[in-house]
Structure 1
């Protein structure tokens, strides 16, 4: 019998032994957490809960960062993962090594399933009340929704209302039972419906003030709902959720005077596995060229460095404060894009100015007169979002989303350090969708994603 174990293999043990304050609890199935404090502390996991996915896969595949000359290694090695990702190789993930872009989110989901399904029946201990059970369940649901959003956007086609009911998504696992039969892949629509259900159920039971920055609040859930609705093309609903998020937290750090309070504009901290962009990878020229020279996102968050061949490159500054969860500035830019698409250009410009005044010294507000058309404003808004979120490593997902429309579609071209060898990925190519790792297919009878 195919077991759900294949999804969690190599990661369940890490999940349940990496909790900061909960080192004595063994994996579920051996010893089950008994009281509400146990479930609460499971959500404080140091790595597998605070972290999600694998940065390299998303970063190297997109076009905000590029591996430096020294990062490519042996270009004649067919197992060179950097080169495989950079060239969108058809044989990506065909070896039997574990792939964290799949295994880490599912390991987190295992934890969130355990908490969401069992905490309400757990016994109380001193300092906890019944209301804490409801809150803890809501926190688990919120984070579970996020992990499924990461998975479905990595291993399935971009949500398209006309095809989502038939496009294959990822296996939907809702129990913490390693003996359960592996489910087949749900559709993209089913995964998005589950994400929305989790977030909408959770947000009413979340606190406005989080337990800590690695735990979701109402604002965090509303912000995620806004992003999900944007990715579904439900622009009016995305604005509604954005406004609810901003009512909870509207702080934007003023980079023009320093970045000491940068973290305060985060709804919560959800980081990615250490990778190219996270530890300070080189920025592509296509990204650098869209910044104004005085933009503090460029002057404060990047630095000059030296490539392996002695040339100068611009790299992102490593900081633990990078999150892939929606931030206050991103929520404003979600509103801006949605307003443009709904032909509310003045409202969109207001949101753009709200962000840009905290990013560009001696800033002069944009006005309607600065744009000759709605299309020009949309292009500028999308560029602004790229400028604001490049260190969050959303670019691969953003490109997939925008490829649904000819006016915003992008053909990617990656060129090796030799300046000659290049690879091209067109908007309709199959390789925008990562293949299911071979390690998973060795244990589960799942339909593989086609590759070019």
Structure 2
């Protein structure tokens, strides 16, 4: 296949292989990491490149953003993502966003799996721990890829729907595998985590970026949620909470972002992961903002407005990842990985879908009570709960709690597949509709980037809307 895998890796990782981590390794020749000792691999797993794979552009796909200055057609590549264009860049030499980001980290984890057994120094148990962390990390990355380039998991078609290549080698000379099916990728994800579990550390409280038993269960919970297996999602969410971190940050005790516990040791983070650009802002959709309870502390904590909370003017409110008060030399480290809050929401959603409404309401209460001042908080506790309303309340809470952490697009996908997602529109500066995302649109499954298709012309491309 003419060294397609060599292109896949080199094109995506050129300039990235020399991980910057306190210059802990020699680089000979340029661009090649020499990992020889167990400590080398330990530092490799500690590097920011490994901990940071999730691109901010995931937020641009979602329905809670609004570009009030949008012009049609998109004026540059970044806006093409916001407009759900078939290709996000027409430049064959460009690095493909999303694809490159996640395969970069897969390469890193494959490097650990390929070499840790032969590393010198360190105990055998350390090697097994790091191998387990690499399996978990690889699974985490593939969960994003299969939910970007494969259709939403459908038990009836998953064994036919194409997703992405499952790459297990870090050899630049190897050929790239064919596209695996959605079913195969999910099976690989679950298998990797199951292989990891027996050797993962019980505790990652000194560094939430590293793998742990709880982290593995949390990724499994997210995996089964995306598969629509709510019983297993709840089972693994509970195991994650029972195995490690089980506390929520109480926003009522914080005066601002500077008081948020450090992400590395934050008890509410089960498996810490960072986005590519830690310091960022996003303009917010008015419908999204208006859905908040104005007493919700998250609104005051993350969002800045020049007016009141009526939210009537497009482009007047931004989400900030900076610390409060806004300080560009300080920032709130937002966890883009699984958290205690996410596990609570998975338990709530799974219970609501099983019509265990009191359980769902109680799980919501555990989270929401930490997002209001005590004197402002009122438990959501309808006298005669209705399943559809409780489920919607849980889904709404996901949008508030996990806003701008890359998760909304995946929720939109799975809700659209159920018929629970309305049509989403993009508007130009004059308020005219210029782009439409229908619930049954093929745009919910991204096209394989042309930069990859160029070297793999025999691959079937994902369907497009007629």
The verdict on a shared fold, with TM-score over 0.5 as the criterion, is yes
Partner SS for 1:303: strand
Alignment partners' CA distance in 2, 1:133 and 1:419: 57
Residue 41 of structure 2 is matched in structure 1 by 39
Corresponding position: 1:261 with 2:260: yes
Aligned to 1:84: 80
Structure 2 counterpart of 1:398: 411
Deviation at 1:381, TM superposition (A): 0.7
Q: 1:310 to 1:350 in 2, by over 3 A?
A: closer
For 2:304, what is the secondary structure of its paired residue? strand
Partner residue, 1:270 = 273
Q: 1:355 to 1:184 in 2, by over 3 A?
A: same
Q: 1:64: which partner in 2?
A: 64
Distance in 2 of aligned mates of 1:138 and 1:6: 28
Match of 1:169 in 2: 163
How far apart, in 1, do the equivalents of 2:453 and 2:410 lie? Answer: 24
Distance in 2 (CA, whole Å) between partners of 1:27 and 1:61 is 39
Whether the aligned pair in 1 keeps the contact of 2:26 and 2:33 (CA below 8 Å) is no
What is the CA–CA distance in structure 1 between the aligned matches of 2:199 and 2:67, rounded to whole Å? 43
For residues 246 and 314 of structure 2, the distance between their equivalents in structure 1, rounded to whole angstroms, comes to 43
Q: Which residue in the other structure is 1:367 paired with? A: 381
The alpha-carbon deviation at position 305 of structure 1 amounts to: 5.3
- In the other structure, the counterpart of 2:230 is 235
SS in 1 for 2:305: strand
Could you tell which deviates more after superposition, 82-91 or 352-361? 82-91
Residue 52 (structure 2) pairs with residue 51 (structure 1) = yes
SS at match of 2:400: helix
Question: Is structure 2 residue 319 aligned with structure 1 residue 323?
Answer: no
Q: Does 1:423 align with 2:435?
A: yes
Cα 1:419–1:31 change in 2 (3 A) is closer
RMSD of aligned residue pairs (Cα, Å): 2.4
- Report matched runs for 1:11-410 at 5 Å: 11-21=12-22, 22-26=24-28, 32-46=34-48, 48-56=49-57, 58-69=58-69, 72=70, 75=71, 80-96=76-92, 97-124=94-121, 128-210=122-204, 212-247=207-242, 248-258=244-254, 259=257, 260-262=259-261, 263=263, 264=266, 265-274=268-277, 279-304=280-305, 312-318=316-322, 319-362=331-374, 363-369=377-383, 372-406=385-419, 408-410=420-422
> Per the alignment, do residues 29 and 63 of structure 1 end up closer, same or farther by CA in structure 2, a change over 3 Å counting?
closer
CA gap of 1:439–1:261, structure 2 versus 1, over 3 A, is: same
For 1:348-371, what per-residue CA distance to the aligned partner results, in whole angstroms no more than 9, with x for missing partners?
1111000000002232323352x5
Tell me the CA shift for residue 13 of structure 1. 4.2
Q: In structure 2, what is the Cα distance between the partners aligned to 1:240 and 1:328?
A: 14
CA distance in 1, matches of 2:171, 2:463: 30
Aligned positions, number:
438
Q: Displacement of 1:66 after TM fit?
A: 2.1
SS in 1 for 2:79: helix
Q: CA deviation at 1:410?
A: 2.5
How far, CA to CA, are the matches of 1:205 and 1:79 in structure 2? Answer: 50
Distance 1:305 1:227 in 2: 36
> Is the 1:60–1:67 Cα contact (8 Å) retained in structure 2?
no
| Structure-2 separation of matches of 1:218 and 1:310 | 44
TM-score (norm 1): 0.90
Q: CA separation of 1:441/1:79 partners in 2, compared to 1, >3 Å: closer, same or farther?
A: farther
- Cα 1:345–1:105 change in 2 (3 A) is same
Distance of 1:411 and 1:310 partners within structure 2: 19
- Cα 1:26–1:174 change in 2 (3 A) is farther
- Unpaired segments ≥5 residues, structure 1: none
How far 1:87 sits from its partner (Å)?
2.3
| Structure 1 residue 426: Cα displacement | 0.6
Q: What's the CA shift string for 1:7-27, capped at 9, x where partnerless?
A: 223443444312414342458
**Residue 79 (structure 1) shift:** 5.6
